[in-house]
Amino acid sequence: MDTNKKIPVILDGDPGHDDAIAWVLAKACNEFDIKAITTVAGNQTLDKVTYNARRIAALLKIDIEVARGRKVPLLSDLIIAPNFHGESGLDGPELPEPNHEESELSAVEMMAKVLKESKEKVIIVATGPLSNVAALLLSHPELKEKIEIISIMGGGLRNGNWTPAAEFNILVDPEAAYTVFHSGLPLQMSSLDVTEKALVYPEEFDIIRNLNNPVAKVVAEWFDFFFIHVKSLGHKGATLHDPCAIMSLIHPEIFTIKDYYVDVELSGNYTRGTTVADYLGRTGNKPNCKCVVGLNRDKFVQLLIDACKQYEGWKI
Ligand code: BDR
Ligand code: CA
């Protein structure tokens, strides 16, 4: 990535602790110019995740109006994840109240506006169900050429986390995921294969806490909350799913990335919402996705700590 030029980016998510930490990374890095934050129902209801997104924007001093997106998936009923993220969708530390009104534009209108107005191609980082992104592609196919890449947290090449076969973000809106994976656009998928290895251990929460700046403190407390549930699943650290979608763009060198054809299962007694990657090369289809499947965990955590240091001296 050419680090001299800032790349316009749209952050689309359902915050959510790990979405929030992904946005902490996006704001801290020099590579991105955050043009929009858009929300989608997923971890919690649309009202709750939109309020969370506005509070995160205030915490990170991202000076834009958040645009709310789809309240429900394209075809199926909404599934939410209060067991992971709490009743608010972002339980744990206190956050500043929003300091901007919500945008009058919907998420799709906001994304379309950013794409239309941008001279350069725009990166979309999608860390929730793909409902907004699919709605954008279906309603504005003419804007596809303005998209540089869609970096997704979602799916699993060999397992799920919500059903044995399906990962949460894809399971919530499989038709949206299908639309995105069939869009022909450059895609990068940080699936459970990498994100369940992107572990941050409790002693590392404390390194972040002890950086002694207000954002790092909140990040450590998000870890504290998130880890309660993740630990009960047998993980030794907090699984940083969504931050992989940002980190794999800015530091691809610490990740293992493979080109595969990926499709989305829309039916099946047990497999709706499964991402199927043709890692054996049997379908005859050309790869449509960069699949992020592994990482150097120690470097990942160090880069996360470095990002949290960027907030030194901040006052909230
Ligand atoms: C994904 O589901 C959500 O709970 C997280 O925010 C992440 O995007 C992990 O399966
Ligand atoms: Ca998410």
At 247 the pLDDT is 98
18 lines ligand 1 (CB under 6 A): yes
DSSP letter string over 25-76?
Answer: HHHHSSSEEEEEEEE-SSSS-HHHHHHHHHHHHHHTT--S--EE--SS-SSS
Q: What is the residue-level pLDDT of the chain in tens, covering all 316 positions?
A: 555 689 999 999 999 999 999 999 999 998 999 999 999 999 999 999 999 999 999 999 999 999 999 999 999 999 999 988 999 999 999 999 999 999 999 999 999 999 999 999 999 999 999 999 999 999 999 999 999 999 999 999 989 999 999 999 999 999 999 999 999 999 999 999 999 999 999 999 999 999 989 999 999 999 999 999 899 989 999 999 999 999 999 999 999 999 999 999 999 999 999 999 999 999 999 999 999 999 999 999 999 999 999 999 998 8
Distance 129 CA to ligand 2 centre (A): 8
**Pairing relation of β-strands 255-260 and 262-264?**
unpaired
Question: Which ligand 1 atom minimizes the distance to the CA of 168?
Answer: 10
CB proximity list for 212: less than 8 A, separation 6 or greater: none
Query: What's the rounded Cα separation, in Å, for the pair 308 and 159?
Result: 31
Are 149 and 186 a contacting pair, CB within 8 Å?
yes
Predicted local distance difference test score (pLDDT) of residue 316: 82
Ligand nearest to the CA of 80: 1
Give the atom of ligand 1 at the shortest distance from the alpha carbon of 15.
6
Residue in 127, 130, 230 to alter for ligand 1 test, most ligand atoms within 8 A of Cβ: 127
241 Cα: distance to centroid of ligand 1 (angstroms): 6
Contact by Cβ (8 Å): 208, 172: no
What distance in Å separates the CA atoms of residue 117 and residue 41, rounded to the nearest whole number?
Answer: 26
Q: Which domains occur in the chain, in start order?
A: 7-309 (3.90.245.10)
Q: Determine whether 140 is an active site residue.
A: no
Exposure string over 114-132, b if 16+ CB within 10 A, otherwise e: bbeebeeebbbbbbbbbbb
- Alpha-carbon Rg for the chain, nearest whole angstrom, is 18
CA 48 to chain centroid, in Å, comes to 17
Our answer on whether the CB atom of 127 is closer than 6 Å to any ligand 1 atom is yes
DSSP code string of 110-178:
HHHHHHHH-SS-EEEEE-S-SHHHHHHHHH-GGGGGGEEEEEEE---SS--SSSSS--HHHHH-HHHHH
Q: Is the minimum distance from the CB of 191 to ligand 1 under 6 angstroms?
A: no
Report CA(2)–ligand 1 centroid distance (Å).
29
Q: Which of 17, 85, 241, 251 is catalytic?
A: 241
- Put simply, whether the predicted model's pTM sits higher than 0.95 gets the answer yes
Q: How far is CA 57 from CA 72, 132, 187, 303, in A?
A: 23, 19, 26, 21
HSE, side-chain direction, 13 A CA sphere, residue 148: 17
CA pair distance 164, 156, nearest whole angstrom: 10
46 in Cβ contact with 67 (< 8 Å): no
Only one residue has tokens 């890449």, namely 149
| Calpha distance 280→261 (Å, rounded) | 10
Instruction: Please report the pLDDT score of residue 5 as a whole number.
Output: 82
- Compute, in angstroms, the gap from residue 49 CA to the centroid of ligand 1: 13
